[in-house]
Structure 1
Amino acid sequence: MGDLESNRRSLLMAAPLLLAAIAAGDKSGAGGGIKLGPPPKTGPDPRETFVQQYDQIGFQPWGNLPPHSGEMAKLYGDFDKPGPYLVLMKWNPGWFSAPHSYATDRIQVVVFGTWFVNSGNEFQPQDALPVGPGGYVKRTARTPHYDGVPANQPDPAVIAVFGVGPVDQLLIDPTQPSFRQV
Protein backbone atom coordinates (compact mmCIF):
# COMPACT_ATOMS: atom_id res chain seq x y z
CA MET A 1 0.00 0.00 0.00
CA GLY A 2 1.40 3.42 -0.87
CA ASP A 3 2.28 6.14 1.64
CA LEU A 4 -0.67 8.27 0.51
CA GLU A 5 -3.17 5.47 1.13
CA SER A 6 -1.56 4.57 4.49
CA ASN A 7 -1.66 8.22 5.64
CA ARG A 8 -5.27 8.61 4.47
CA ARG A 9 -6.28 5.45 6.39
CA SER A 10 -4.47 6.68 9.52
CA LEU A 11 -6.15 10.07 9.35
CA LEU A 12 -9.58 8.50 8.89
CA MET A 13 -8.97 6.28 11.90
CA ALA A 14 -7.63 9.18 13.98
CA ALA A 15 -10.44 11.70 13.42
CA PRO A 16 -12.99 10.21 15.85
CA LEU A 17 -10.30 9.61 18.48
CA LEU A 18 -9.00 13.17 18.19
CA LEU A 19 -12.47 14.65 18.57
CA ALA A 20 -13.20 12.45 21.59
CA ALA A 21 -9.89 13.31 23.26
CA ILE A 22 -10.32 17.04 22.71
CA ALA A 23 -13.85 16.90 24.09
CA ALA A 24 -12.69 14.88 27.11
CA GLY A 25 -9.79 17.22 27.79
CA ASP A 26 -11.84 20.33 28.61
CA LYS A 27 -13.50 19.44 31.91
CA SER A 28 -14.03 23.06 33.00
CA GLY A 29 -16.40 24.12 30.25
CA ALA A 30 -14.04 27.03 29.56
CA GLY A 31 -11.42 27.42 26.88
CA GLY A 32 -13.54 27.83 23.80
CA GLY A 33 -15.49 24.57 23.97
CA ILE A 34 -18.76 24.40 22.10
CA LYS A 35 -21.70 25.04 24.37
CA LEU A 36 -24.94 23.39 23.30
CA GLY A 37 -27.11 24.58 26.17
CA PRO A 38 -28.19 22.61 29.22
CA PRO A 39 -27.92 18.83 29.06
CA PRO A 40 -31.13 16.96 28.30
CA LYS A 41 -33.06 15.83 31.36
CA THR A 42 -33.24 12.22 30.27
CA GLY A 43 -30.06 11.93 28.19
CA PRO A 44 -29.50 9.71 25.20
CA ASP A 45 -31.04 6.28 24.90
CA PRO A 46 -28.31 3.94 26.32
CA ARG A 47 -29.22 1.35 23.66
CA GLU A 48 -28.15 3.90 21.03
CA THR A 49 -25.50 6.04 22.73
CA PHE A 50 -23.26 4.75 25.50
CA VAL A 51 -21.81 7.46 27.76
CA GLN A 52 -19.21 6.99 30.48
CA GLN A 53 -17.84 10.02 32.30
CA TYR A 54 -14.09 10.16 32.95
CA ASP A 55 -14.50 9.77 36.71
CA GLN A 56 -16.43 6.51 36.09
CA ILE A 57 -13.73 4.92 33.92
CA GLY A 58 -12.01 2.04 35.68
CA PHE A 59 -8.24 2.12 35.22
CA GLN A 60 -6.47 -1.18 35.96
CA PRO A 61 -2.78 -2.07 36.35
CA TRP A 62 -1.10 -3.06 33.07
CA GLY A 63 -0.68 -6.78 33.40
CA ASN A 64 2.50 -7.63 35.30
CA LEU A 65 4.19 -4.22 35.04
CA PRO A 66 5.74 -2.61 38.12
CA PRO A 67 3.29 -1.21 40.69
CA HIS A 68 2.45 2.49 40.25
CA SER A 69 4.07 2.65 36.79
CA GLY A 70 0.83 3.05 34.88
CA GLU A 71 -2.73 1.93 34.40
CA MET A 72 -5.03 1.20 31.48
CA ALA A 73 -8.75 1.46 30.80
CA LYS A 74 -10.09 -0.61 27.91
CA LEU A 75 -12.91 1.41 26.38
CA TYR A 76 -13.58 -0.49 23.16
CA GLY A 77 -12.37 -3.75 21.69
CA ASP A 78 -9.23 -5.60 22.72
CA PHE A 79 -5.74 -4.94 21.36
CA ASP A 80 -4.90 -8.64 21.68
CA LYS A 81 -7.76 -9.69 19.36
CA PRO A 82 -8.55 -8.88 15.72
CA GLY A 83 -10.42 -5.62 15.22
CA PRO A 84 -10.35 -1.98 16.34
CA TYR A 85 -9.65 -0.99 19.93
CA LEU A 86 -9.59 2.18 22.02
CA VAL A 87 -7.85 2.36 25.40
CA LEU A 88 -6.82 5.11 27.80
CA MET A 89 -3.31 4.71 29.18
CA LYS A 90 -2.21 6.55 32.31
CA TRP A 91 1.57 6.93 32.65
CA ASN A 92 2.84 7.87 36.09
CA PRO A 93 5.91 10.09 36.50
CA GLY A 94 9.20 8.22 36.68
CA TRP A 95 8.40 5.42 34.20
CA PHE A 96 9.17 4.72 30.55
CA SER A 97 8.53 1.72 28.35
CA ALA A 98 11.57 -0.05 26.92
CA PRO A 99 12.09 0.15 23.14
CA HIS A 100 9.45 -2.03 21.47
CA SER A 101 7.31 -2.28 18.34
CA TYR A 102 3.80 -3.33 17.31
CA ALA A 103 2.48 -5.25 14.30
CA THR A 104 -0.02 -2.50 13.45
CA ASP A 105 -0.08 1.30 13.40
CA ARG A 106 -1.24 3.06 16.58
CA ILE A 107 -2.96 6.43 16.71
CA GLN A 108 -2.51 8.32 19.99
CA VAL A 109 -3.78 11.62 21.39
CA VAL A 110 -2.66 13.09 24.72
CA VAL A 111 -5.73 13.84 26.84
CA PHE A 112 -4.08 15.14 30.06
CA GLY A 113 -0.54 15.90 31.19
CA THR A 114 2.62 15.72 29.12
CA TRP A 115 3.78 12.48 27.51
CA PHE A 116 7.37 12.03 26.30
CA VAL A 117 8.02 10.01 23.13
CA ASN A 118 11.08 8.81 21.25
CA SER A 119 11.95 6.25 18.60
CA GLY A 120 14.86 3.97 17.88
CA ASN A 121 16.52 0.90 19.36
CA GLU A 122 18.62 2.77 21.94
CA PHE A 123 16.88 3.79 25.19
CA GLN A 124 17.54 7.54 25.58
CA PRO A 125 14.62 8.99 27.59
CA GLN A 126 16.49 12.27 28.13
CA ASP A 127 16.05 12.93 24.37
CA ALA A 128 12.30 12.21 24.30
CA LEU A 129 9.99 14.86 22.84
CA PRO A 130 7.28 16.24 25.16
CA VAL A 131 3.73 16.06 23.78
CA GLY A 132 1.06 18.06 25.60
CA PRO A 133 -2.76 17.81 25.78
CA GLY A 134 -4.34 17.50 22.34
CA GLY A 135 -1.03 16.42 20.79
CA TYR A 136 -1.20 13.64 18.20
CA VAL A 137 1.30 10.77 17.84
CA LYS A 138 1.21 8.08 15.12
CA ARG A 139 3.35 5.00 15.64
CA THR A 140 4.12 3.19 12.40
CA ALA A 141 3.91 -0.60 12.51
CA ARG A 142 7.12 -2.47 13.37
CA THR A 143 9.17 0.63 14.11
CA PRO A 144 10.99 0.70 17.48
CA HIS A 145 9.85 3.34 19.95
CA TYR A 146 9.43 4.05 23.66
CA ASP A 147 7.64 6.60 25.79
CA GLY A 148 6.72 7.64 29.29
CA VAL A 149 6.80 10.45 31.84
CA PRO A 150 10.06 11.58 33.50
CA ALA A 151 10.23 11.62 37.31
CA ASN A 152 10.46 15.44 37.39
CA GLN A 153 6.96 15.86 35.93
CA PRO A 154 4.28 16.83 38.47
CA ASP A 155 1.39 14.81 37.02
CA PRO A 156 0.64 11.59 35.16
CA ALA A 157 -0.18 11.69 31.45
CA VAL A 158 -3.34 10.11 30.05
CA ILE A 159 -3.21 9.03 26.41
CA ALA A 160 -6.06 7.80 24.21
CA VAL A 161 -4.76 4.97 22.00
CA PHE A 162 -6.58 3.68 18.93
CA GLY A 163 -5.52 0.89 16.61
CA VAL A 164 -6.37 -2.44 15.09
CA GLY A 165 -5.45 -5.62 16.92
CA PRO A 166 -3.79 -7.83 17.54
CA VAL A 167 -0.85 -5.54 18.30
CA ASP A 168 1.75 -8.29 18.82
CA GLN A 169 4.17 -6.23 20.89
CA LEU A 170 7.86 -7.13 20.51
CA LEU A 171 10.58 -5.87 22.84
CA ILE A 172 13.74 -4.80 21.01
CA ASP A 173 15.84 -6.40 23.78
CA PRO A 174 13.78 -9.09 25.53
CA THR A 175 16.52 -9.55 28.16
CA GLN A 176 15.70 -6.10 29.59
CA PRO A 177 12.60 -5.11 31.59
CA SER A 178 9.65 -3.86 29.52
CA PHE A 179 9.21 -0.82 31.84
CA ARG A 180 12.07 1.21 33.27
CA GLN A 181 12.16 3.62 36.15
CA VAL A 182 13.78 6.95 35.19
Structure 2
Amino acid sequence: MAGDGINRREMLAMLGGMASLLMAGRAESSTIDTSQSMYTLPENIKFVAQGNAPPRSVESAFLYSSPEKEGIYYALLRWYPGYMSAPHNYATDRLCVVVSGTWWINSGADFDPGHTVPVPAGTFVRRVARTWHYDGVPRGEPEPATIAICGIGPVDMRMAEPDKPLARAV
Protein backbone atom coordinates (compact mmCIF):
# COMPACT_ATOMS: atom_id res chain seq x y z
CA MET A 1 0.00 0.00 0.00
CA ALA A 2 1.22 3.43 -0.89
CA GLY A 3 2.10 5.67 2.03
CA ASP A 4 2.23 2.81 4.59
CA GLY A 5 6.02 2.76 4.81
CA ILE A 6 8.84 1.01 3.02
CA ASN A 7 8.06 -1.85 0.65
CA ARG A 8 10.04 -5.08 0.51
CA ARG A 9 12.24 -4.05 -2.44
CA GLU A 10 13.18 -0.76 -0.75
CA MET A 11 13.95 -2.62 2.51
CA LEU A 12 16.29 -5.06 0.73
CA ALA A 13 18.03 -2.20 -1.07
CA MET A 14 18.56 -0.37 2.22
CA LEU A 15 19.88 -3.51 3.96
CA GLY A 16 22.24 -4.14 1.08
CA GLY A 17 23.51 -0.57 1.28
CA MET A 18 24.00 -0.82 5.05
CA ALA A 19 25.92 -4.09 4.65
CA SER A 20 28.21 -2.39 2.12
CA LEU A 21 28.85 0.45 4.57
CA LEU A 22 29.60 -1.98 7.37
CA MET A 23 31.99 -3.97 5.21
CA ALA A 24 33.73 -0.80 4.10
CA GLY A 25 34.18 0.22 7.73
CA ARG A 26 35.84 -3.09 8.51
CA ALA A 27 38.35 -2.65 5.74
CA GLU A 28 39.38 0.65 7.29
CA SER A 29 39.58 -0.55 10.91
CA SER A 30 42.87 -0.15 12.68
CA THR A 31 45.14 -2.89 13.96
CA ILE A 32 45.33 -3.49 17.70
CA ASP A 33 47.32 -0.97 19.69
CA THR A 34 49.12 -3.06 22.31
CA SER A 35 49.82 0.04 24.38
CA GLN A 36 46.03 0.27 24.87
CA SER A 37 44.96 -3.40 24.78
CA MET A 38 47.71 -5.42 26.41
CA TYR A 39 47.57 -9.20 26.48
CA THR A 40 49.75 -12.16 27.39
CA LEU A 41 49.13 -15.46 25.65
CA PRO A 42 48.95 -18.52 27.91
CA GLU A 43 52.30 -19.90 26.75
CA ASN A 44 53.95 -16.63 27.83
CA ILE A 45 52.57 -16.62 31.38
CA LYS A 46 55.44 -17.67 33.63
CA PHE A 47 54.72 -19.42 36.92
CA VAL A 48 57.41 -19.34 39.61
CA ALA A 49 57.74 -21.23 42.86
CA GLN A 50 56.21 -19.28 45.72
CA GLY A 51 58.62 -18.29 48.49
CA ASN A 52 60.30 -21.21 50.23
CA ALA A 53 57.66 -23.72 49.14
CA PRO A 54 58.80 -27.15 47.91
CA PRO A 55 59.07 -27.55 44.11
CA ARG A 56 55.76 -28.30 42.37
CA SER A 57 53.69 -27.44 45.45
CA VAL A 58 52.45 -23.89 44.85
CA GLU A 59 53.40 -21.43 42.10
CA SER A 60 52.43 -17.86 41.23
CA ALA A 61 52.25 -15.82 38.04
CA PHE A 62 51.83 -12.09 38.66
CA LEU A 63 49.88 -10.65 35.75
CA TYR A 64 49.45 -7.12 37.08
CA SER A 65 51.46 -5.60 39.93
CA SER A 66 52.00 -7.65 43.09
CA PRO A 67 50.34 -8.25 46.48
CA GLU A 68 53.26 -6.52 48.23
CA LYS A 69 52.75 -3.23 46.37
CA GLU A 70 50.21 -0.50 47.03
CA GLY A 71 47.10 -0.83 44.85
CA ILE A 72 45.32 -3.44 42.81
CA TYR A 73 47.04 -6.67 41.78
CA TYR A 74 46.02 -9.65 39.67
CA ALA A 75 47.74 -13.01 39.83
CA LEU A 76 47.36 -16.67 39.02
CA LEU A 77 48.08 -19.22 41.73
CA ARG A 78 48.61 -22.91 41.01
CA TRP A 79 48.32 -25.58 43.71
CA TYR A 80 49.63 -29.05 42.92
CA PRO A 81 48.05 -32.21 44.34
CA GLY A 82 49.41 -33.10 47.76
CA TYR A 83 49.87 -29.54 49.09
CA MET A 84 47.81 -27.03 51.02
CA SER A 85 48.48 -23.71 52.66
CA ALA A 86 48.73 -23.33 56.39
CA PRO A 87 45.99 -21.19 57.95
CA HIS A 88 46.62 -17.52 57.18
CA ASN A 89 44.82 -14.24 56.57
CA TYR A 90 45.25 -10.93 54.75
CA ALA A 91 44.62 -7.25 55.53
CA THR A 92 42.36 -6.88 52.47
CA ASP A 93 39.73 -8.99 50.72
CA ARG A 94 40.80 -11.29 47.91
CA LEU A 95 38.53 -12.13 44.99
CA CYS A 96 39.24 -15.52 43.46
CA VAL A 97 37.96 -17.53 40.49
CA VAL A 98 38.95 -21.14 39.96
CA VAL A 99 40.27 -21.24 36.39
CA SER A 100 41.01 -24.97 36.14
CA GLY A 101 41.02 -28.06 38.30
CA THR A 102 39.37 -28.29 41.71
CA TRP A 103 40.53 -26.11 44.60
CA TRP A 104 39.86 -27.27 48.14
CA ILE A 105 39.11 -24.54 50.69
CA ASN A 106 38.21 -24.07 54.35
CA SER A 107 37.90 -21.33 56.97
CA GLY A 108 39.41 -21.14 60.42
CA ALA A 109 42.79 -21.31 62.12
CA ASP A 110 42.56 -25.05 62.86
CA PHE A 111 44.25 -26.87 59.97
CA ASP A 112 42.13 -29.89 59.03
CA PRO A 113 42.41 -30.84 55.33
CA GLY A 114 39.68 -33.46 55.82
CA HIS A 115 37.12 -30.69 56.23
CA THR A 116 37.99 -28.72 53.10
CA VAL A 117 35.28 -28.16 50.50
CA PRO A 118 35.93 -28.81 46.78
CA VAL A 119 35.28 -25.83 44.51
CA PRO A 120 35.52 -26.66 40.78
CA ALA A 121 36.56 -24.52 37.82
CA GLY A 122 34.27 -21.53 37.38
CA THR A 123 33.65 -21.05 41.11
CA PHE A 124 33.97 -17.57 42.64
CA VAL A 125 35.49 -17.37 46.14
CA ARG A 126 35.74 -14.21 48.24
CA ARG A 127 38.28 -14.30 51.06
CA VAL A 128 37.18 -11.72 53.64
CA ALA A 129 39.95 -9.57 55.13
CA ARG A 130 41.51 -10.79 58.40
CA THR A 131 39.62 -14.10 58.43
CA TRP A 132 41.65 -17.30 58.79
CA HIS A 133 41.56 -19.72 55.89
CA TYR A 134 43.58 -22.41 54.14
CA ASP A 135 43.38 -24.15 50.79
CA GLY A 136 45.15 -26.27 48.21
CA VAL A 137 44.74 -29.62 46.48
CA PRO A 138 44.82 -32.89 48.43
CA ARG A 139 46.95 -35.83 47.38
CA GLY A 140 45.21 -38.06 44.85
CA GLU A 141 43.53 -35.33 42.83
CA PRO A 142 44.13 -35.78 39.08
CA GLU A 143 45.42 -32.27 38.32
CA PRO A 144 46.60 -28.98 39.81
CA ALA A 145 44.13 -26.18 40.47
CA THR A 146 44.76 -22.75 38.96
CA ILE A 147 43.10 -19.79 40.66
CA ALA A 148 42.86 -16.17 39.42
CA ILE A 149 43.23 -13.79 42.36
CA CYS A 150 42.55 -10.06 42.50
CA GLY A 151 42.98 -7.81 45.50
CA ILE A 152 44.37 -4.58 46.90
CA GLY A 153 47.91 -4.52 48.23
CA PRO A 154 49.77 -4.58 50.36
CA VAL A 155 48.12 -7.75 51.67
CA ASP A 156 50.06 -8.02 54.96
CA MET A 157 49.72 -11.79 55.22
CA ARG A 158 49.66 -13.28 58.74
CA MET A 159 50.12 -16.93 59.62
CA ALA A 160 48.14 -18.66 62.38
CA GLU A 161 51.31 -20.62 63.19
CA PRO A 162 54.21 -18.41 62.10
CA ASP A 163 56.79 -21.05 63.05
CA LYS A 164 55.43 -23.49 60.41
CA PRO A 165 55.81 -23.30 56.60
CA LEU A 166 53.07 -21.82 54.40
CA ALA A 167 52.89 -24.84 52.04
CA ARG A 168 52.18 -28.15 53.77
CA ALA A 169 52.27 -31.66 52.33
CA VAL A 170 48.92 -33.41 52.77
Q: Same fold, TM exceeding 0.5?
A: yes
Q: TM-score, normalised by structure 1?
A: 0.75
Give 2:123's aligned residue: 135
| Alignment partner of 1:156 is 2:125 | no
Aligned residues: 142
CA offsets, 1:52-79, max 9 Å, x none?
1112101111121111111110000111
Give 1:22's aligned residue: none
Give 2:90's aligned residue: 102
Partner Cα separation in structure 1 for residue 158 and residue 149 of structure 2: 18
What is the deviation of 1:51?
Answer: 1.3
Give 2:77's aligned residue: 89
Q: Which deviates more from structure 2 when the two are superposed, residues 66-75 or residues 156-165? A: 66-75
Give 1:113's aligned residue: 101
What is the deviation of 1:47?
Answer: 1.2
Partner Cα separation in structure 2 for residue 74 and residue 121 of structure 1: 27
Give 2:14's aligned residue: none
Q: TM-score, normalised by structure 2?
A: 0.80
CA offsets, 1:114-134, max 9 Å, x none?
000000010011110101111
CA offsets, 1:80-126, max 9 Å, x none?
01100000001100000000000000000000000000000100111
Partner Cα separation in structure 2 for residue 79 and residue 62 of structure 1: 13
Give 2:55's aligned residue: 67
Alignment map for 1:16-35 (pairs within 5 Å): none
| Alignment partner of 1:181 is 2:153 | no
| Alignment partner of 1:171 is 2:159 | yes
CA offsets, 1:111-161, max 9 Å, x none?
000000000010011110101111000000000000000011010000000
Check conservation: 2:58, 2:167, Cα contact below 8 A.
no
Aligned structure 1 segments of 4 or more residues deviating by more than 2 angstroms: none
